[in-house]
Amino acid sequence: MSNIQKVTDAIVAQGMLPLYFNADENVTIEVLRAIYKAGIQAIEYTSRGETALSNFTKMVEVRNAEMPDLLLGIGTIKNLQQAEEYLKVGADFFISPGFVPEVAAFLIPKDILYSPGCMTPTEIIAAENAGVKFIKLFPGNMLGPDFLSGIKDIFPNLRFMPTGGVDTTAENIGGWFKAGVSAVGMGSKLISKQLMADKDYATIETETKKVLELIHFIIKK
């Protein structure tokens, strides 16, 4: 099985991709442990601050020691230099807020999953022609499930995952899966800044478990 397929299967199996960033290394690691304990097999850490690279390097170290089956992805990749830096420290997959052709050309021949953010059919076509198979619909709350329903038939070979404003309610998540997504990206609605500030890792674990169960219930319906 290819590496791209392995990562795709892991994200699709859990039906969601939790994503977060915290400037503090300890908080970053404890959140990682909490969502892993909840049953998560693939997560996205967003490269949104000066400490992101060093924090991610530490995450890889902890993952290798404690959670060898966990896939660690890096998000908010906007240029080739970032992609090179994070590949060097061990990122398993890469996600961008928009489509970056140089990043696709760098990663896809290496059999590494690259999921760019797209919000128009033109962007999706460009990404598909560059070899991308997994599209992030971003920002999800602006596009909505109706957007995907309207374009999905044009792209039968692609998988879609909305990120940005996806809520933890059955109505919101159910609407997306009905429209045909393979997974939903869950950020601040799941791992909120407040929960991280309070270091309330038990609640992060519990909430992640709840959303996982909800998604699996929706998928089976």
Among all residues, which ones are annotated catalytic?
Answer: 44, 136
- Report which secondary-structure segment, H or E, holds 182: none
Strand order in the sheet with 71-75: 159-162, 134-137, 113-118, 93-96, 71-75, 42-46, 16-20, 184-186
Angle, helices 80-88/52-66, rounded to nearest 10 degrees: 30
Q: How far apart are CA 111 and CA 187, in angstroms?
A: 26
Structure tokens that stand for 21 in this block: 């960033």
Which string of b and e fits 172-193 if b means at least 16 CB within 10 Å?
bbbbbbebebbbbbbbebbbbe
Structure tokens that stand for 183 in this block: 């997974």
**135: Cβ contacts below 8 Å, ≥ 6 apart:** 115, 116, 118, 124, 127, 128, 155, 158, 159, 160, 161
Q: Residue 40's CB: how many other CB atoms inside 10 A?
A: 22
